[in-house]
Amino acid sequence: MNRSQAKLTAGIDWPIFGMYLALVFIGFLAIFAAEYREGDHVIQNLLSQNKNWARQVLWFGVSIVLATGIWLTDSKFFTATANLFYAFGILLLLVVLAIGTGVKGSNSWLELGGFRFQPAEFTKLCTCLALAKYLSAMETDFTKLRSRLIAVGMVMFPLAIIILQDETGLALVYLAFFLVMYREGLPGVLLVIAFSGIVLVLSALLIDKFILLYIFTGVAAVVIYFNRYQIRRKKSRLVTIIAIWAFCSSFVMYVVPFVFTNVLKDYQVRRIYVMLGQENDPKATYNTRQSMIAIGSGGFWGKGYLKGTQTRLDFVPEQSTDFIFCTIGEDFGFVGSLIFLGIYVSLLLRIIFIAERQRSTFSRVYAYGVASIIFFHLAINIMMTIGLAPVIGIPLPLVSYGGSSLMTFTMLIFIMLRLDADRQMVLR
């Protein structure tokens, strides 16, 4: 008995497993706190499944079954079926796009016998597997532009479909795969360009465009002045500087205003402005404001479990899904939040550690994919609750209420654990 059990769990990475359980448990506590009212009959609620926390217990049960299934599956299965997964995921997305059920302004839900399911969550797993499969393939040479374009395409395709489903938040998560591709050799300058792009967009929104134009012109002039000797020797340098100047200027003068008036939807623009503190429309700021009040009122030590007034009295919207961090921030304060973030960071670093110890490219890319997705979710979700990011509805992995999300992340993590357990095998 002992031996067979040892065999069953052999190779499992206990720290990851432990942190997984811890986060799911914290999630359960938070959802419970967000919903529980004095006088609720806990057992009755659990049996009748009429509360989110009660359903979350059920989803956890299902997730554990899935996790066990994955654990018992041969790791070669995932390499073999990665592309199949991807095809299936894309198919699901397209089906949803055609017949999806609308929940809160998005058409990303699929109704299956009373259960609603969000394929956009599940497709992350598919994309992660497929990307790993592609990058680990013998014929792929990631230093070549063609391979890079194919990899980017694999990521951008589901992203585009999800944007069409009006789930911008979930779509943006796919950008996390660029982190993976960076690890696998995508030029670092792309990261720099992406970062500069973000700074450019932000400054275009925050600072008057004519002032920016003067600044850019001034900076260009100074740069040209200090490079005057090099420019004399090499005229192309001047062209480069002027090209960058022209690009930045036209970007803030024309591209950003165009995108904001013609591409983005009104509510998206408003959310971005709210996040930047540029708009004080109480309706637009309500969510962020209430969420910040809830977290801020937690103070250093927190109000104590089930003592939070903001979350428990429904001031914070979506408090068991997207804004679940409010409950943690309010009830457990700065200290609790710090510990909570500590668990997450440990999980992320542990996954990266695991990724780097893999012998197969597939496993490594996959593990990096898992880390990137979790990181992206974590960063955007928490930043939006504290007013650092616009409100885009993405859940906090393992913590937020929601079956699709919990099951997807469970599968992501357990496939990684399975692969890690078999890391001595070289997988293709």
Partner 1 sequence: MSVFNQSRKRVIQFIMLGTVLVIVARLFFLQVVETKYSKLADANAHLRKVIYPSRGIVYDRHGRAVMRNEALYDLMVTPINVKNIDTAYMCEILEIEKAEFLRRIQVAKNREGPRRPSVFANLLSPDMYGRLQESMYLFQPGFELVQRPVRSYPYGVGANFLGYISEISPGMLADTSGKYSSYQQGDYIGMTGLERTYENILMGQRGIQYLVKDNLNRPQGSLEGGIFDTAAIAGKNLRLALDLDLQVLGEKMMAGKIGSIVAIDPQTGGILAMVSGPTFDPNLLSGSYRAKNLGILLTDTVKPMFNRAIQAIYPPGSTFKPITGLIALDEGVIGPDFGFPCHGGYGLCGRFSRCTHSNPGHAANMRVALANSCNSYFMHVYRLSVDNKKWGGTKNGQAKWVEYLKAMGLGRRIGVDIPSEAMGIVPDTARMNRVYRNVWNSCSEMYVGMGQGQLSLTPIQLANAMCIIANRGWYHIPHFVESIDQDKSDILKKYKEKISVAHISSDAFQSVVDGMADVVTSGTARKAQIEGFEVCGKTGTAENTTIVNGKMVKLKDHSLFVGFAPKNNPKIAIAVVVENAGFGATYAVPIASILMEKYLTDTISAKRKPVLEQMLNSNTFSPEIKHKSKLDSLNSVNYAGAEGAVIMRKILGH
Residues that bind partner 1 (CB under 8 A): 142-143, 179, 182-185, 188, 191, 290, 292-300, 309-310, 313-315, 329, 333-334, 337-338, 341, 344-345, 348-349, 352, 356, 361, 364, 368, 371, 375, 378-379, 382-383, 386-388
105 vs 185, beta carbon nearer partner 1 = 185
44 vs 143, beta carbon nearer partner 1 = 143
Cα–Cα separations (whole angstroms), residue 317 to 45, 287, 291: 22, 6, 8
Q: Whole-number minimum distance, CB 401 to partner 1, in Å? A: 19
229 vs 300, beta carbon nearer partner 1 = 300
Q: Whole-number minimum distance, CB 172 to partner 1, in Å? A: 15
Q: Whole-number minimum distance, CB 184 to partner 1, in Å? A: 6
Q: Whole-number minimum distance, CB 229 to partner 1, in Å? A: 33
Q: Whole-number minimum distance, CB 312 to partner 1, in Å? A: 9
Structure tokens at 217: 């012109």
- Annotate the chain with three-state secondary structure: CHHHHHHHCCCCCHHHHHHHHHHHHHHHHHHHHHHCCCCCCHHHHHHHCCCHHHHHHHHHHHHHHHHHHHHHCCCHHHHHHHHHHHHHHHHHHHHHHHHCEEECCEEEEEEECCEEECHHHHHHHHHHHHHHHHHHCCCCCCCCHHHHHHHHHHHHHHHHHHHHCCCHHHHHHHHHHHHHHHHCCCCHHHHHHHHHHHHHHHHHHHCCHHHHHHHHHHHHHHHHHHCHHHHHHCHHHHHHHHHHHHHHHHHHHHHHHHHHHHHCCHHHHHHHHHHCCCCCCHHHHHHHHHHHHHHHHCCCCCCCCCCCHHHHCCCCCCCCCCCHHHHHHHHHHHHHHHHHHHHHHHHHHHHHHHHHCCCCHHHHHHHHHHHHHHHHHHHHHHHHHCCCCCCCCCCCCCCCCCHHHHHHHHHHHHHHHHHHHCCCCCCC
Q: Whole-number minimum distance, CB 204 to partner 1, in Å? A: 21
Structure tokens at 246: 């022209």
Q: Whole-number minimum distance, CB 42 to partner 1, in Å? A: 19
- What's the alpha-carbon Rg for the chain, to the nearest Å? 24
96 vs 295, beta carbon nearer partner 1 = 295
106 vs 140, beta carbon nearer partner 1 = 140
91 vs 313, beta carbon nearer partner 1 = 313
CA 112, CA 372: separation in Å to the nearest integer? Answer: 30
73 vs 346, beta carbon nearer partner 1 = 346
191 vs 276, beta carbon nearer partner 1 = 191
Q: Whole-number minimum distance, CB 379 to partner 1, in Å? A: 5
109 vs 184, beta carbon nearer partner 1 = 184
Q: Whole-number minimum distance, CB 307 to partner 1, in Å? A: 9
Of 260, 271, 298, 309, the C-alpha closest to 392 is: 271
251 vs 312, beta carbon nearer partner 1 = 312
Q: Whole-number minimum distance, CB 9 to partner 1, in Å? A: 28
Give bridge partners of residue 115 from the DSSP assignment: 112
Q: Whole-number minimum distance, CB 92 to partner 1, in Å? A: 30
382 vs 415, beta carbon nearer partner 1 = 382
Q: Which residues of 273-287 are buried (b: 16+ CB within 10 A; e: fewer)?
A: bbbeeeeeeeebbeb
